[in-house]
Structure 1
């Protein structure tokens, strides 16, 4: 007998009879949910990254202090990647008798590749998008140059040997945020005019840039190719290595989206587990008949496994194309939320959906399917005979393995996946214990009641296996839904609230120590509150535990850059409010003279700096050595002043330092800032409004994306509700027929069914509220690093919502049983 051919024949027969439809629908919805979420999150994450890449004005930036080799540009052209070239250097410009240090930037015609420049044609004019770069002989400048140089639109300025006419004011420059603390104001000119200034001599401090943009896969390949060339002094940056604020926002948004996708997978697993149990129960007769016809146990098992896999493959194919269509519709609905075009879908979510469908079926159905080979042939005559019960250990091992593989794979964050799996396993254990306790309590309680209450409680206590399965299924389903609801409402609100409207949008740097009090007083007189003025010391890390630091010691490109750059370090007696000590302890006032450092966690992990490490910095020609006393996480997207390394006051207070502060500057108080700059010309004011806009944009898009993913998860939750109710369908058919034969009224049975399912739903909702709260607390503190608050209203909503939804759905599903004559049911049995 050809097992595959026979399995397909049985599959076709059972499909016509409706035996496999519930399981197939569960798989289709599972795969469609996963695929649509996969497509959606993949495209939205890439769109968010592309929108954030405006900070570099490209997807990739190659930087060097020497002219870039021509073959880098030729390779980009060969790969058909968009490209632009820029260069930047400090210089002095002349206007009448005034001079001013500026940062001159020359740009090619294709600049920028990502984002748009915004300019004004006059001081009081409205902002607008610049479709071109400055024409030959023209220069655009920052607004802060106007009071410093006394220049106006239309005036001539001189840069080296070349004169330029000031034509526009720069409002927003995409890649300026990638180099936030640029001391001198910007002057933008055409790249072709730079040579005529005569300023590009051998001793010029010029930085050369090659900007590249294209598909993510091409960008990754090009980056690896550039790094393989081993060109000295070359740095390659993408958005995640450019700004910690944006990297933090992107990583956080990605975690939210992946968690939302994981909830859809979890619900689909519950749905398939409930559906497969009913499928196995209804296939016991087919197995017994095959055994009577001479099929061996191995043949029967092989036939059912092949039928299961065939069903899974067909349903998964339907699911992936359904998911593709759904996400296409969704992208059309929300595409206008993004400033740039959303990238085209890749093929990976299709493959991911197929693998997910097969894994879900194998993990949650295969142990039950194997049971079918053990059905005794005598069942054909004695219907009460069945296969030996499945080993819970085998079932849990298979389910846990599939669950772990899928969650770790889909989430991409081992810690988040581990906490989610641990929470669900703990929840499963609690639900099983409570369901057993419920049956134990209801058994004597039903004798103390009458009417509908008695029949409803008796139904729950009389079928402990079904009650346990339904309560567990409802509880896990509600837990996942409530978890996503908490993420969607509470954690997302906390994330967005971390960057309120009055977050600092201005930085003042290069404040001299003798100017600190005067600057503080001037800002206070103008009604501007700062977050404090902090000392900032430039230092280079020269040794770790006595070993010299070299970029050659690291393979990670970010580690190589950090090993060769100067750090902004500081000293303090108290950690800042957006810093959290994750390892070690902060020093007390009595320990301020110790030689200790506090290091940001990301820097420590990148450079391999554990607690207790001895660090040595070179500061202004002298060496400063201290031990790492604590590691701390930093909320870079808060836009407060923060440092990678902080020392004790006794260790660094004698080192030369300037001061830095940040504050929120309303538009109507800009004159206060102008007055401060005129009084203290050495101070540099940096406007980070554009960078904040990028971070807020990522937060808003991430929140909207999670809102949309919630709709998919809700659809998966509905199938869990339906399959959970259908799990007791066979028993309900027989019980209803017997009770109606004995004369129980239809209205009493209807009310008893409502009470039965409402009790299950309310209890499942209450338990799931506790489980979802515990899991969300763990994720908020350990993964998202966000504040968490207990939501009491969610508990009440879960209790009432579970009782109402499950009660009404179960009653509606049972109405057909009450309308069927008992004699018809008895004859079928």
Structure 2
């Protein structure tokens, strides 16, 4: 009870005197950043996953070449999940006497479960969303079918044995881009009308899909039940596996958000350590008096720990409240972009925030405060005894352990965590060693300088430990601000440019060899930049490294599906421009011996290693060759790309069709109609829908990262302020003595300007170096983006920090100069 009574009394006194303001600000900001990101990313990532769900019109999609068992949908409905069925097939429709091959999709009334359909009432009207598919008796068609058949809305389209009224123009389907090799133009009808068409029988070639959607928890419970019950010819798709380019965008968004959170955590941790250092300075005299009055060390330690726990819990709760308000602000700002029915966040971020705050406080603040228990009672009478010496091993060990624990916990990504920790450790060691060298250099220059220059530089050399702590803290703060600029200006810009304006929005497939040159000439005649055309050959993977491919030996469902599917193979002497070799070597010659290059992701999924022999069954016979390179493919470039590419010697004699992609502005859509007329066997695929969704994910991710980095900005400014405040207690005594010895205020003020400006220049120089280095490593190693060094960042970092810290430090210490020297010599607070 005595410890609790003393604890509460001291906390009340500390708060009234302002002792805890800086430490509480650092802790509240840390917890606010963690909880805001926790609340916000839970909701935003759910929204991003819904964007992925829109690509398959559901959360889960089962696909088969035969009707799917009814018990699967019954089980889903019993778990309160929504279901809808679709049937997709190719057929010929007629209007009058003119036939046209189309891709028909018959859907249930509940289709789509995710995303939205968009239709227009006429070709010259804007489209509108539709909550359901067409009603029975109606059909929606793409606009080019109207041009091809020379018909209009309201006319009758003959589908098999029945006639359906064309009620609207189909402008967008959520799952339109799920299969790049579907035949266009597309026709959407009700599944209730399907029996009347007479087009679907027991042996019909059709694709049957069962769409499933519901709460994330219910989907997560249902999926393990579902997977072992699927027949061999049934594939299961989820949101993030729907398209690799979409998965790439979501993955980068998640990594950027985690990076922003971790940088805020690291910088705020530095602020907590600096604030604890200042708190120790201000508490020494009070502790000495308590020791004189008989307080034992164990009581003092108990009081210190209780003070931290109570203070940490209150500050963490306040940080959680601030984090909640912060994520509400961002949700409001993104109201036009985000879905209105965002799932509410759980209380998990609150528990995570409080735990993070307590770990950060105990790890960074306990070691400095533990020194207070070592204060001798004689300190109350002899002020020259100073503060007790801290244990460097305890301080660094506790801070390092807390930092590692928090980083690995919050990152949820081992690669991101260890790279960030390794980079931070290297940066801190380099920063401290460099500062030590520069402080010694400043001491040498002080001996050759005169006047206020000598006084300012000598102040840095006179307190090397404080100078290292101060400049390192300032450097970390400036590094956070500059890293914010690097991520905002360079990395996020590079990320947005991965899907630039003008990215290919049309694919041409089924191009026959004799059509390659005429097609090139046609595209050139309509002023479309002649694209590269790549040969494409279908093949099934049968052996890896001499062992037969057995789908059942793969634990990963995606690997199992890949092992049963046919691959689109290609060949060429030159590597595609948006591919990069990550292992092995590219052959680089059309006469190279038989060999393969494999995309690194699918190689990891299927267990393919460099040097393995692969065997594919192509056109009725086997072809084999070694894997001589692994490639990184930029899927979100929307260029034609392949998982497996062979040297020409392997596949050039095999029958092949060709594929290409190009960009066509919306106002030139008539070119597509002319292309279809001249090359009727070539299938044209419009992927604008996918481009819009991927760009939407990137834009939302960029805005989310920018918002989260506002916490980093606040933490960086707080660290800079804490760095300036760290030495005020020592300066108070020094300035009192110098004023007594005759130093005037103007000279002391100028020397402070020299000292703080020099510290700012040094911190800015080091921070600029580390910010650029960190940005380069993040771009190259983590996000796989192009990075260009920014000279303007160096000018901003060095000159800006010198001016900012010079002015801020001088203003912060100015009250010490107007303080009467007698009060300082008497030891008055």
Q: Deviations over 1:755-809 (max 9, x none)?
A: 2112111211111011011111111111111111110010000112111221121
CA contact 1:482–1:772 (8 Å) conserved in 2: yes
CA contact 1:419–1:778 (8 Å) conserved in 2: no
SS at match of 1:398: helix
1:428 paired with 2:428, answer yes
SS at match of 1:743: coil
2:511 alignment partner in structure 1:
511
CA contact 1:407–1:417 (8 Å) conserved in 2: yes
Q: Cα distance, 1:634 vs. partner?
A: 0.6
1:587 alignment partner in structure 2:
587
Distance (Å, rounded) in 2 between the aligned partners of 1:409 and 1:659:
48
1:490 alignment partner in structure 2:
490
CA contact 1:266–1:480 (8 Å) conserved in 2: no
Distance (Å, rounded) in 2 between the aligned partners of 1:783 and 1:375:
47
1:806 alignment partner in structure 2:
805
CA contact 1:585–1:630 (8 Å) conserved in 2: yes
Distance (Å, rounded) in 2 between the aligned partners of 1:330 and 1:818:
44
Summarize the alignment of residues 540-619 of structure 1 with structure 2, pairs less than 5 Å apart. Answer: 540-589=540-589, 592-619=591-618
Distance (Å, rounded) in 1 between the aligned partners of 2:480 and 2:605:
34
Distance (Å, rounded) in 2 between the aligned partners of 1:6 and 1:218:
51
Moved more, 238-247 or 60-69: 60-69
TM-score (norm 1): 0.95
Q: Deviations over 1:235-270 (max 9, x none)?
A: 322221000111111111221222112221111111
Distance (Å, rounded) in 2 between the aligned partners of 1:48 and 1:543:
37
SS at match of 1:174: coil
Summarize the alignment of residues 678-827 of structure 1 with structure 2, pairs less than 5 Å apart. Answer: 678-827=677-826
Moved more, 97-106 or 271-280: 97-106
Q: Deviations over 1:385-406 (max 9, x none)?
A: 3665333333223222222222
Q: Deviations over 1:411-446 (max 9, x none)?
A: 333223222222222221122122212221222322
Distance (Å, rounded) in 1 between the aligned partners of 2:358 and 2:134:
58
Q: Cα distance, 1:295 vs. partner?
A: 5.3
SS at match of 2:532: coil
Distance (Å, rounded) in 1 between the aligned partners of 2:540 and 2:340:
39
2:303 alignment partner in structure 1:
303
Q: Deviations over 1:601-657 (max 9, x none)?
A: 110111111111111111122111111111011110101110000000001111121
SS at match of 2:336: helix
Moved more, 222-231 or 327-336: 222-231
1:461 alignment partner in structure 2:
461
Q: CA RMSD in A?
A: 2.2
5+ residue gaps, structure 1, are: none
CA contact 1:530–1:662 (8 Å) conserved in 2: no
User: Number of aligned pairs?
Assistant: 828
Residues 401 and 120 of structure 1: is their aligned pair in 2 closer, same or farther, counting only changes over 3 Å? same
Q: Deviations over 1:196-241 (max 9, x none)?
A: 2233322123333232333333322232332254554333222210
Residues 296 and 638 of structure 1: is their aligned pair in 2 closer, same or farther, counting only changes over 3 Å? same
CA contact 1:239–1:246 (8 Å) conserved in 2: no
Distance (Å, rounded) in 2 between the aligned partners of 1:290 and 1:736:
28
SS at match of 1:390: coil
Q: Cα distance, 1:351 vs. partner?
A: 1.9
1:344 alignment partner in structure 2:
344
Summarize the alignment of residues 144-159 of structure 1 with structure 2, pairs less than 5 Å apart. Answer: 144-159=144-159
CA contact 1:536–1:568 (8 Å) conserved in 2: yes
5+ residue gaps, structure 2, are: none
Distance (Å, rounded) in 2 between the aligned partners of 1:712 and 1:184:
49
Residues 5 and 573 of structure 1: is their aligned pair in 2 closer, same or farther, counting only changes over 3 Å? farther
Q: Deviations over 1:80-130 (max 9, x none)?
A: 334433222233323333333322211122222222222233334433333
1:418 alignment partner in structure 2:
418
Q: Deviations over 1:799-820 (max 9, x none)?
A: 1211122112112211222222
1:55 alignment partner in structure 2:
55
Q: Deviations over 1:718-755 (max 9, x none)?
A: 21121111101101211121222222222222222222
Q: Cα distance, 1:166 vs. partner?
A: 1.9
Q: Cα distance, 1:506 vs. partner?
A: 0.5
SS at match of 1:338: coil
TM-score (norm 2): 0.95
1:276 paired with 2:276, answer yes
Q: Cα distance, 1:190 vs. partner?
A: 0.8
Distance (Å, rounded) in 1 between the aligned partners of 2:373 and 2:232:
67
Q: Cα distance, 1:51 vs. partner?
A: 2.9
Distance (Å, rounded) in 2 between the aligned partners of 1:444 and 1:529:
65
